[in-house]
Amino acid sequence: MNMKASLTALALTAALSAPMASAEIWSNTEVQIQALGELERVGTGGTADTTIITFQHAGGWEYGDNFFFMDYSRYSVNNDANFPVSDSSELYGEWYSNFSLGAITGNDLSFGPVKDIGIVAGFNFAPEVNSAWVLPGVRFALDLPGFAFAQIDVTGYIHQGGGSADSPVFTVVDEDSSFMVDFSWAYPFKIGSTSWSIEGHLEYIDGRTQVNNFGTTELESWILFQPQIRLDLGEVLGQKAQRLFVGIEYQYWKNKLGEKGTDDNAAQLLAVWRF
């Protein structure tokens, strides 16, 4: 078995099976709605008024934690595209399982701002282009004052599957392996009697060569920055705290999906319901 196949098997086995054997000791499940944002459309040269509905879950177990989300995006295409395109929708999902080496070994692995080290296995799925990626790597859990959590993932970014070169719609056939560095965090704070948080992630994915049904493309390295600022609206309304939130999500995406010169710089209204 070659190295790529070995890493793929490791990531899929870890992400999809091992954590399920142990019950969660904490969990957080929510639905997010982002609306009234005008985002770039890759490949068309145009923009689209975009609504995104996200189902998201995070949970911890004895030896680590899991996180996954599924996005449903609906695009209302504007009239500034290079060629006619219709309104569309798509799904996209990610799963990450983290295995805490400190919890597994019983040793204190902290040093400097790092409080623990984990083995992380990720799986990204984009059915619109008939492709998936596995992301095996390392997580550094950080101990930063005031943060609910902060962590840095350093992983591979390895394409799996791929569609047919004869597909009538855009399809990824093959793609070079690359790597990702991702910093994610949540920082709660108070303004008077109101509760707020700033949370999100900042990722870098290195450039690579992609083969699709239209030919060979050199994908640029991209930077994606997605912070949210949330107000606990349920608390303000005298209802149960930590259930209903409103706010704004800002998206900055340099070289969106690897397309050189296509950059998002937009804010969307945000509403969140936490179960």
On the question of pLDDT at 176 being above 50, the answer is yes
> Residue 46 — very low, low, confident or very high, per pLDDT cuts 50/70/90?
confident
Of the candidates 155, 145, 72, the residue with the CA atom closest to the CA atom of residue 115? 145
% of the chain at pLDDT higher than 70 = 87
Cβ atoms of 11 and 140 closer than 8 Å: no
> Residue 21 — very low, low, confident or very high, per pLDDT cuts 50/70/90?
very low
- In this prediction, residue 122 carries a pLDDT of 97
For the ranges 6-15, 96-105, 214-223, the lowest mean pLDDT is seen at 6-15
For the ranges 14-18, 100-104, 187-191, 222-226, the lowest mean pLDDT is seen at 14-18
For residue 76, give the 3-state DSSP assignment.
strand
- In this prediction, residue 173 carries a pLDDT of 86
The Cα–Cα gap between 23 and 61 comes to: 6
Residue positions counted in the chain: 275
- In this prediction, residue 84 carries a pLDDT of 54
Q: For the chain, give the mean pLDDT.
A: 89
For residue 93, give the 3-state DSSP assignment.
strand
> Residue 166 — very low, low, confident or very high, per pLDDT cuts 50/70/90?
confident
> Residue 183 — very low, low, confident or very high, per pLDDT cuts 50/70/90?
very high
DSSP 213: T
The Cα–Cα gap between 56 and 192 comes to: 29
- In this prediction, residue 85 carries a pLDDT of 57
Radius of gyration of the chain (CA): 20
For 71-117, the pLDDT digits (tens) are: 999 988 776 656 555 668 899 999 999 999 999 999 999 999 999 99
- Mean pLDDT on 180-206: 98
